[in-house]
Every structure is written in C-alpha cells, then in structure tokens.
Structure 1
Amino acid sequence: MASLPLRLGAWLRRVPGAIWLTDLALTALAWWGAYWLRFNFEVPARYFGQMLQTTPLALLGMAAGLALLQVPRQSWRHVGLADLRRLAAGVALGGVLTTALVMGLRVQDFPRAVLPLATLLALVALSGARALWRSVGERRPAGTPDARQPLLVLGSLDEADQALRTLKGIAGWRVVGIVSAQAADAGRTLQGVPVLGAAPALAEIAAAAQVRTVLLASAPGAALRREALLRWSGSGLNLLTLPAPEELLVPGSAGRPRKVQLEDLLGRAPVQLDVRGLSELFAGQTVLVTGAGGSIGAELCRQIARFGVARLVCLDMSEIAIYQLEQELRATHPQMQGLYYTANVREYERLRAIAAQHRPAVVFHAAAYKHVPLMEDGNEVEALRTNVLGTLHAARVAGEVGAARFVLVSTDKAVNPTSVMGASKRLAERVLQGVAVQWPGTQCVAVRFGNVLGSSGSVVPLFAAQIARGGPVTVTHPEMVRYFMTIPEAAQLVLQAGLMGRSGQIYVLDMGEPVKIVELARMMIRLSGQTEDAVPIAFTGLRPGEKLYEELLADDETTEPTPHPKLRVAKLGADGGLAAQVVEQWLQQAGPAPDAAALRAWLQTLVPEYRPR
C-alpha cells in the first residue's frame, strides 16, 4: 500500500490548484491565529465577526504576494534554502498588500497588531509545511531494508556540505559520516551527518563504520586529494569523486560519483572561453585542421564542431586515425559537413589543392613529430621536414587561400632547446613569423604548452601499459619535472589564442605547477589499485635530448599579459622571412640522409639557443 506522503504527493500533483488551496488554507489559519494571540487566546465576540469578515482580505493580499514571486510553482518535495528565501519574500509582500487592503478599506476598530502577527504565523506555517513535507518524503518506511550503498565524505565542512546537497539528488547512496580535513571538527554534525574524525585516521574510521567507499569532496588538485590517493589507494578503499561541472554537459552523463582519475589529482581550473567570440569566428565557416587524427588535433576538431562550423576539413597522414575521427564526428555532429583527407603536410602541392578547393577561414596546424628521443636518433631530418617544412607549407597555403587566421601548435620544448625536436619547433615558430610578414592578411600565431595528459606518445599511456604488465614503471630521473594539462584544456586554450592573437605573436599557456614524473608514476600505480611493492619504479637515466626541467620562456624572453588569465604573449623579435628561405634551400640540398652532426650544426646557426646534448 502506498504511504501517506506518496498519496498526498500524488494528490498535490494531480489536483489543479491543490498547492494554492493548501497555502490559502494555512494563510487563513495564520490570520485566525493572529487574532487568537492578540486577545490572549480569547477572541471577543465583536472581533470574532471582524476576523471572519477580513479573512478574504488576508487571502487576497497573501495570494497576490505569493503569485508575484511565483511561490506556488515550487516543488515541495525538493524545497531548499533558495525556495524558502523566495517564500519569505512572498509572504512579506503578501503582508504588505494585506495591510494596504485593511487600511485602505478603513476597517473599524481593527487591531493593528494582528497584521505583523499574521504575517509571521503565515511564514512559519507555509515554510514549516514545506520542510515537513520534504522531511517526511525523504524518510524510509519502517521495516524497509536500506539498499543504498554506505559512503564516507572526505573534505572540509564547506566541501562536505556541497557534496551532501549534490548526493541528495542521486539515488543509491547513504552518507554515514564525514571525515574532515580539520581534527577540531570531530564530533560536530552537518545536515544531520556526524563528523567521525580527521583525514589521517580515514582507514580506521572506514573500518569502524564498515564502509569501503569514500567520496573525495575536496577541489581537484587539492593536497588532500593527493594525500588520499597516495595513502589509501590500493588499501581496499574505493575512492570516488563527483563529476566536474563541464562533465555534466557531456551527452549521457548521469552526474553520479565516479572513480578518481589522474586529471582530478593534477587539478586544473576550467578554461574560461569567449564563447560568443569563438561562435562568431567559427559559425558558418570552413575550418582546416592538420594533424587532425592526433590527440590535440582530434580534440580541436571536437571543440570546433561545438561552435557550429559549416565545414570541417580534417587532414592527417594516418589512415586509421582519420577514419576513427570520421566515425566519431559523424555520430556526434551529423549536421556538420566533415571532409577527411589522408595527406602529408610535407607535400605542398597536395596541401594547396585541398585548401584551394575548400577555402578555409581558419587553419589549425597540429601536424608534428613530437617524440624527443625518437627524433634524436636517426630521424633528425624527419623532424625538420615535418615540423619546419610542414609548418611553412601550411602557413603559406593559409595565406594563399586568404584564411583569416593560422594557428601553430608549438611546445615548451622550443624554449632553450636541447633536442632536435625542440629546435625544430622553435625554428617552425621563426618560419611562421616570416610568413606572417609575407601574408599580412592572415593572422599567424603560435601557441606553446607543455605535456598533455594521455596524448599519444606521452608518458601516461606508457606508464599505464607498464603497470598493466606488472612493472617496472620506468622513470628517467627522480628529479625530473614536467608541466601537464588535459587534452580538452589544451585544445580550448589553442582556440582562445587563435581568437585573440595578432599576427606574429607566440602565446604561452599557464601550465600551473610542474609535477614530478616519479610522483605521477606513483599516482598512476595507486589509481590502478596497486602499490609500489607490487609494481616497482625503476630509474633509467636521462635519454638523449631530454631535460630535467622544461621551460615555457627562454632566458632572454619576457611576456606580457592578455585579457585571458591563462594566456600570455612572449615578446620576441619578428623574423623577416630569411629562415624560411634557408630551410627550403638546405633541405633540398641535404638529401634523404644528411649527416647528423652537420644537421645539428646547421640547426644551431638558425636557432642560436639550441644546445645539443
């Protein structure tokens, strides 16, 4: 048999005006109660008649106040503080309107104390009814087993408060306690949930409460999250987190707690995009992306598709990568016209033919070789042909077809480079500045950033594969640090820089705090449910061309701020086009297998800050 709250709830939803009738009935009771209190619980006979005669005035005034603030639209089952504040304002307005009606009609011998008393009683009655309704609705019927999964919340009281509010709207969880970041909070309660202790005693608290699941309520990147992972992952505790706000926008996302991921622990604030500006830049336009099958290129395509681009031209030399991208974009953006080409940016004529056919308004150049050790041994000329000559081809083509903007995806390894790959990217920046002078109608900008979590060829997939094999996880040096950001964040900042940039500028992204690679390895081991005893870490030494520390700016460079908090502009001298001419001539003369030492020596003449290792 359905419970009384459920039957009453169905009646409130089904009967037209049921909420209005309930509120007006409570208002009438409040009006009569005010008379009752005014006359010490004994209403004289002559005032009893007045009480009944003026009740319609009280109902009319209160109904108008509640209606003006849309109070009857509230859901009693989900009423919250914001609803109660609106209710209080509606009742106050209703009291004012009732006072105006009574005084305007000059009711004879009216006891004025009734007016504030009635307003106060109406507020208590209406808010109390809603609070009671929600409390009764949330109660589990006696004798019914609780199938919800028990859960501990770890974080400060402010963080736990927000988490508890979120969890109330998610079925299947029962919060049995809070583990606070502050020991002084132990013994307190929050929304009826007790604070069982402080973070250092999490394992003992979980064992005593017979709970194996912990929700990390602290902000992404917070020290408490890292401590929780490093201390308790792999210990039998299931660590969860609530999805970030931007994750809730993903189709099919249920907003439920999920397992902690590496991105949550590194913690990056969401990117503030100029949505209107980007929509104006892309909506109804043709956009070309080179290297579209790669990690950054594919994410650029996903982000661009969101802004209503009319035609997206995707180009990559990998057949399988461009095929997978085609399948994904056709499914997620069926209304968009996508064109997918297997082509190489080193082939100028092919690139120009594609661009001339579609006339892109914006070109994003993400095609590059980026693996430092691989480009350092036997593939030096390949790095130059793709990273430098490919950039020259793509930028020239953008200028020839009249593209409004050209954006080069660069890297922090271009700063004071010690590798051929880094030097090639720095030379690509110089080449781009030269093209910017030759094609002033095209805004040519470059964007530098560091390592991207999960990108192909990066350390994260390598560590994941090594952990899956049982180790060891190979780290080159215990002091090696790198800057990290997520793939979506990198792509969004590239888009933002492309929108803001002026020709010849090199943008530097705010990469946050650097992360020790050995700490990253430990985090990934813990996230997999293992410990360093089961999956050891081995140090292998620096590889050719690698640095302990990456820089985002060269020693002689300075930056200036931009309107975007995560973007700065590197102030560099412009290149007049000499580098582009020299690159083309030298690569034509060098042939397919130039001497490695001669190649490095030549590279130093164009990139003086390059110091081979």
Structure 2
Amino acid sequence: MLSITAKQRLVTLLIIDSIIVSLSVFVGFYVLQPFFEGYTIKLLLLSSLILLISHHVSAHLFNLYHRAWEYASVNELLMIVKAVSLSIAVTAAIVPLFTHKPPFLRLYFITWMMHLILIGGSRIFWRIYRRAFIDSTIKKKPTLIVGAGRGGSMLIRQMLSTPYMGMEPVTVVDDDKNKQNLSIYAGVKVQGYVKDIPELVKKYKIKKIIIAIPTLTQKRLKEISELCEGLGIEVYRMPNIENVMSGQLKVSEIKKVEVEDLLGRDPVHLDMAMISKELTHQTILVTGAGGSIGSEICRQVCKFSPERIILLGHGENSIYTIHQELFNTYGETIDIVPIIADIQDRSRMFQIMADYKPYMVYHAAAHKHVPLMEYNPKEAIKNNILGTKNTAEAAGAAGVNKFVMVSTDKAVNPPNVMGATKRIAEMVVQSLNSESNVTDFVAVRFGNVLGSRGSVIPLFKRQIEVGGPVTVTHPDMTRYFMTIPEASRLVLQAGALAEGGEVFVLDMGEPVKIVDLATNLIQLSGYKVEDIGIEFSGIRPGEKLFEELLNEDEIHPEQAYEKIYRGKVAAVSREQVDSIINDLLTGYTKEKIINYTNR
C-alpha cells in the first residue's frame, strides 16, 4: 500500500497548490486577453504573487493542508470554497493599489472557478485513487444494514470511507414502507423489510449484519436476533447516535450483539437526585470491590462524585485492577483508597471503619459458587456469615449511615450451603437494624448476573471457542438473569430507598432456560447448534432446577421503585442469630446449616 508521511503530504499539497495558483492568473489572462487594457507581464506576476501568498494564508486558516482528504465530504469541499474565495477577495482588493485601476472582475471570476476545480479536484483525486486502487486490496465482508435512518446512513458512509473496518455495505432493510428502494448513500439501497433478512442474506452472500437503530427496544432486538438464527452470521450493533454526535464514541465502534442484549429488559431509569443525595461528597466503602458486582458498584458510585471511595478486598490483583481503572478516570476528583483486608478479620474491619468513618457501606464480599461451597461449608460460614457479622457490626460501631448487603435469590428455601449462609447473613443484617438508632441495615436480593466470574456465560464462551460441546446441567434448568451494570445500579437505588430492616428484591424479569441461553450464545457467535453441540451433564451438588426470589408469604405486591420490591421477610432477633452462629461454630453439617433457614 502506498504510504507517505505527514511532512511529505504537506510538501506535495503546497507544490500542487502553488502551481495551480501561479498558473491560473496567466490562463485567465490568456482566455480574456482581448478585454485587457494596460495589463503588463509585470502586473500579472505581481497579481500571481499576491494571490499565491493570500491563498497559502487562507489555506492555513481553513486547515486545507492537514485534513484526511481520503475521507473528504461536503464539509471539506466547503472549506476549499471558503479558502479560495478569501484569497481571491484579498487579491482583488490589493492589486488595484498597484495598478490604480478597478479590479478586473472577469479575470478573478475565471481564476476563482479554476481554483475550485483544480484544487478541489486534486483532493478528490486522492480519495478516488485510494478507493479504486488501494482500498480495493483490503478484503471486505458483504454486510447488511438494519435501519435506513440517520444511524444507518452514517454507518454506511463510515464503512465506505474506512476500509480497515473490513465491511462492504451491500443492502439495507427497514420496516418503513416509504423508504423502500431508496438509495441511502453511495448507491446502497433499501431492498426489503426486516422479515426479508434471511432471503437477502442468501441472495447477497451476507457475512455480517449490523443493526443501526439506536432506539431499538430490547424486545425488537431479540426478535431480529431470532430471525438471524441459523444463518451462521454474526450480528452487531452500532453505538448510540447521541454518543456518536457528542464525540464520546465513533460510528465504527460497533459491538457484537451479546446474550445480555437479548434479555428483553428495558433500561433502568434511576432517581439520580435521590442517589446523589446519598453519595455525592461522601465517603463510600465497598467490600468485595474487586469482584464482578463489587467492581461495578464502584464504577457506578464514582459517577456520583463521592469525596472518597474505599476499595476493600482480599485479593490484591483484583483490587489493583479496579483501583487503576478508577484512578485513571476519576483520580483527579475522587480520593480512591485501595484496602487489602479480609472481612473475617474482625479487628481489622473495626479499625478500617473507625479510621475512614464511611457514610455508606456496600457489602458485596462473599463466597458465591454453589458447588464449591458444598465441598467447603466451613469457609462459607466463616466468610458469608461471620464476615458479614464483622463488617456490619463494625459499620454500626463507626456510625455508618447505611449498610447495604448484596444477597441472592439462592437464599430462598436454600437446598445448598451457599444459599443458606447468605440467608443467615440476611438475618444478621436484619437483627442489627432492630438494635441500631444510627445505621440503617438492609439487604438487596437478586438472581444471577450475566458475565460475572464463575457464571455460565464465560464458561459457554470458552467451550464455543474450542469447538464445543457446550455443557448444560439439565434441559429444564432455569435461572433469573440480570446484567452486572443493571444489578449494580439497582443496588444503589435500593440503598437510597432504604429506611432500615428491609430485604429488597430486584425484579429479574422472566426466568431463562439455560439451554436457551446456550443456544443463543452459539448462534450469536456465528455457529449453528449442530456444529458446536449441547450436552447435558446432570445437576450439580446443591443446585435447584428453579430459583425463587421470595417465598409465597414474602411477596409484597407494590413496587418500592421501578423494578424494586420490598420483601416481607420476617426479622430475627439478635439473640436468635447469635444462638445460630454459636451453634454452627461448635459443630455443623450441611443439613444443620440449611435447617436454620427453614425455621
């Protein structure tokens, strides 16, 4: 591929423009010679010199020498018109000072026309040459665009002017009948409706589909994705048009449609003023800050400009990672403090709370892997129960305003150690609230989060990458799912709503069959299910076929906020909780742990 440096390009443009400008006056004089009176070669040279100087000055003002002309558009051509017009006007004003004659307008008009044609043409030539000879060497995949609006037009233009994207826009579909057969950009036409995608994919041998409708609902996105199932192609989305227009993202920053996009859930709208009142200019502490949920809570908290955020975790690598991420983004405005500590270390937790006196604590540290905790019940007791007790009591002693514990749907009728220890942790939090006049203790319960460490999505992706098969425990296994950002935002909202003692339950939508999740992920990866395969491995220790968010007698019908319910979970006294913990510390079995949650 032809490649020149920025300096070489600048010199080349200066030489080309100088030749065009210098000769244009003489060509105009030759064309209009019969009409000239009193113009000598000396005056023509003077006019040419003044025009040359004024042109380079105006070209500098309008940045004609530092533009990527291979991507030239109407805006760039307008800059040429402005620069040329300014240089001609300046010359027409200065030359009469030497000739003592009024400016010869015909000469300047012809010169102006020649400048526009030749200078503009020299720029456009590079774009044509690049597209015809250089860009043609880049292998591009035939691409179908969904959406013929502003987003689709911008995307097609970007694809044509940016060959490194490796996509060739072939056709467009749109459900607006008034846009059918219209040419959107550069001859790329709307040739059908969304329902016609399978037919057009076969007709044009499409390899990629890009959805260019930023306002598309989750439900409609799922319908389009289902329409593409079995076609063996990858489906992408372009970024939000507002983010593109504001410069936050580029049109070319498309992303694959992920399983998270197909949950059919509308975006969460938070009460920003309520949350801001709790977080802005405050000291916030997050336990488990290096984990999937904890780290996302930290990201969401930082958007509300706290004075300080304390990242507390046991693993130094994960805390280092989230600290670096947040410091690079917010380091100049927020005091970001990384703390390596184990919530099982009671004296350490009391010391940290006393030193920093946080206004709010989000407790996300926990052992959450169900099968692993079946083999390690003592660790589940130590971390999930005693760790929560240490952290919550330390928060109460330090006068923390609110303590928000992140819980799980597995705490409902738990058949496993992990769920049972999380339910007992909820009891700890509720019992402390009944004794505290300062700290509001609450728990927030939700289901699985897509993409978290140890969840099925990363596992399925790894299995697909190596060619399969994807292993699913049981064909009827269902789970509630939520994205990590959505769950974290709702935790913040629930914390702002908290008055003390509540067990908030997040609306997880409809339960999803794990086998359907696996099928969608295989197809979104560009494969067919029969190519990868799905195998059923059997239910693992401690697992349930169906998860619950509340017992039947715990359901509170009205929402406390959009997608947030208050659970009617019976509180347990401090004496009862202490008795349970003391009994477990003297001796425990899996059955004994679980039985305490069913009393």
**Structures share a fold, TM > 0.5?**
yes
Kept after mapping to 1: 8 A contact 2:504/2:566: yes
Q: Is contact 1:389-1:583 (8 Å) kept? A: no
Distance, in Å, in 2 between the alignment partners of 1:319 and 1:290 is 13
Alignment pair present for 1:453 and 2:450: yes
Per-residue CA distance 1:568-588 (angstroms, 9 max, x = gap): 111222222234312332243
Give distance in 1, aligned partners of 2:197 and 2:189: 14
Using the alignment, how far apart are the partners of 2:127 and 2:458 within structure 1? 49
Task: Give the counterpart of 2:348 among 321, 334, 350.
Answer: 350
Measured after TM superposition, the shift of residue 490 of structure 1 is: 1.0
Distance of aligned partners of 1:331 and 1:9 in 2 relative to their CA distance in 1, 3 Å threshold: closer
Note if 1:226 corresponds to 2:220. Answer: no
1:152 corresponds in structure 2 to 144
SS at match of 1:533: helix
- The structure-2 alpha-carbon separation of the partners of 1:432 and 1:248, relative to structure 1 and needing over 3 Å to count, comes to farther
Question: Which secondary structure state, in structure 2, belongs to the residue aligned with residue 421 of structure 1?
Answer: helix
Q: 1:178 aligns to what?
A: 172
Aligned partners of 2:279, 2:261: CA distance in 1, in Å? Answer: 30
Aligned partner of 1:369 among 346, 355, 367: 367
Unpaired segments ≥5 residues, structure 1: 17-137, 609-613
Deviation at residue 262 of structure 1 after TM alignment: 2.3
Secondary structure, in 3 states, of the residue corresponding to 2:352?
helix
1:521-540 aligned at under 5 Å gives the runs 521-540=518-537
Map of 2:191 onto structure 1: 196
Structure 1 pair 249/437, CA: closer, same or farther in 2 (3 Å)? farther
Residue aligned with 2:210, SS: strand
Cα 1:374–1:144, aligned 2, differ >3 Å: closer, same or farther?
closer
Tell me how far apart the structure 2 counterparts of residues 247 and 559 of structure 1 sit (CA, whole Å): 39
SS of 1:196 mapped into structure 2? coil
Partner of 1:600: 591
Question: In the alignment, what sits opposite 1:290?
Answer: 287
State yes or no: 1:393 paired with 2:387: no
Provide the rounded CA distance (Å) in 1 between the counterparts of 2:241 and 2:552: 38
Counterpart residue number, 1:128: none
Structure 2 runs not aligned, ≥5 long: 1-16, 18-68, 87-123
CA RMSD of aligned residues (A): 3.4
**Which SS does the other structure have where 2:371 is aligned?**
helix
Counterpart position of 1:240: 236
Report the CA distance between 1:190 and its aligned residue.
7.7
User: Contact 1:291–1:315 (CA<8 Å) still a contact in 2?
Assistant: yes
2:403 aligned counterpart, secondary structure: strand
- 1:152, 1:177 within 8 Å by CA — same for their partners in 2? yes
- Matched residues in 1 for 2:400 and 2:570: separation? 24
* Number of the residue aligned with 2:507: 510
Report whether the alignment pairs 1:444 with 2:438.
Answer: no
Secondary structure class of the residue paired with 2:379: helix
The 1-side partners of 2:250 and 2:193 are apart by 31
Q: Are residues 14 and 569 of structure 1, via their aligned partners in 2, closer, same or farther at CA, if it must alter by over 3 Å?
A: farther
**Counterpart in the other structure of 2:152:** 164
Whole-Å separation in 2 of the counterparts to 1:302 and 1:169: 34
Number of equivalences? 474
Aligned to 2:483: 486
Contact 1:427–1:607 under 8 Å retained in 2: no
Work out the CA distance in 1 between the residues paired with 2:425 and 2:440.
16
Q: Distance in 2 between matches of 1:14 and 1:358?
A: 65
More divergent stretch after superposition (540-549 vs 287-296): 540-549
Matches of 1:481 and 1:437 in 2, distance apart?
A: 36
Deviations 1:131-175 (A, max 9, x none): xxxxxxx9x999995769764223xxxx54354355377454775
Aligned residue identity for 1:607: N
Q: 1:501 to 1:4 in 2, by over 3 A?
A: closer
Aligned partner of 2:422 in structure 1 is 425
Query: 2:402, 2:495 within 8 Å by CA — same for their partners in 1?
Result: yes
Structure 2 CA distance for partners of 1:8 and 1:355, relative to 1, 3 Å:
closer
Counterpart mapping for 1:207-286 below 5 A:
207-209=202-204, 211-216=206-211, 217=213, 218-221=216-219, 222-232=221-231, 235=232, 237-244=233-240, 253-256=249-252, 257-286=254-283
Contact 2:580/2:596, CA 8 A, preserved across alignment: no
Q: Give, in angstroms, the shift of residue 278 of structure 1.
A: 2.2
Q: Answer whether contact 1:288 1:363 (CA < 8 A) is retained.
A: yes
Q: Aligned pair in 2 of structure 1 residues 557, 390: CA closer, same or farther (>3 Å)?
A: same
Aligned counterparts of 2:327 and 2:222: Cα–Cα separation in 1: 41
AA matched with 2:238 = L
Q: CA shift at 1:260, angstroms?
A: 2.0
Change (3 A) 1:7 1:361: closer
Contact 1:185 1:195 in 2 (8 A): no
Residue 567 of structure 2: aligned partner: 570
Give, in whole Å, the separation in 2 of the partners of 1:518 and 1:334: 43
The sequence identity of aligned pairs, in percent, is 39
**Relative to 1, partners in 2 of residues 1:566 and 1:374: Cα closer, same or farther, differing over 3 Å?**
same
SS in 1 for 2:522: helix
